[in-house]
Amino acid sequence: MSAFDNALINAGIANYNLIYLSSIIPEGSIITTEKFISNIEDYGNRLYIVIARFNQTIIDNEAWAGIGWVQDEEGRGLFVEHFAESKDSVIGLIEHSMSDMKQNRDFKYKDIKYAVTGTKCYNKPVCAIVAAVFKSQDW
């Protein structure tokens, strides 16, 4: 759990109550790949996210996580979350899933985009996360 907490701290989302969403991007959405900046006034708020997570406990093995997405001209789209022990594996899984998911819908999606991160387990457990943050909301 401490590896996951450390990954949340590094992602800037540790002090929120995380609400996991499915993978639908609403119309009008603009996606940026900037690091989320938390606000002390939001401490304890709900934070709506799509998240990919992979914990690794085996020394010398890697943990990789990634989120892929596609959008149409109106900003509607899809997210997909994957994890694996290599960057190439995560990217391959994202591209495969996105290609399949696009075929199941009648929208004209643009190119597949993705964000991935990884880390190596040296002497204690590690966790890789990528999160797509929607919004913070007070209780």
pLDDT in tens, the chain (139 residues): 899 999 999 999 999 999 999 989 999 999 998 888 888 889 999 999 999 999 999 999 999 999 999 999 999 999 999 999 999 999 999 999 999 999 999 999 999 999 999 999 999 999 999 999 999 999 9
Give 85's DSSP letter.
S
pLDDT of residue 39: 81
Half-sphere exposure of 76 (CA within 13 A, CB side): 8
Domain limits, the chain? 2-137
Sorted by sequence, the CB contacts under 8 Å of residue 128 that are 6+ apart come out as 7, 53, 54, 56, 63, 64, 65, 83, 117, 118, 119
Q: How many CA atoms lie within 13 A of 38 on its CB side?
A: 19
Which pLDDT does position 40 carry in this prediction?
Answer: 86
For residue 129, give both structure tokens: 């996360």
Alpha carbons within 13 A on the beta-carbon side of 26: 5
Q: What is the pLDDT of residue 34?
A: 83
Q: Which CATH superfamily is domain 2-137 in?
A: Pyruvoyl-Dependent Histidine Decarboxylase, subunit B (3.50.20.10)
The reply to whether the predicted model has a pTM over 0.75 is yes
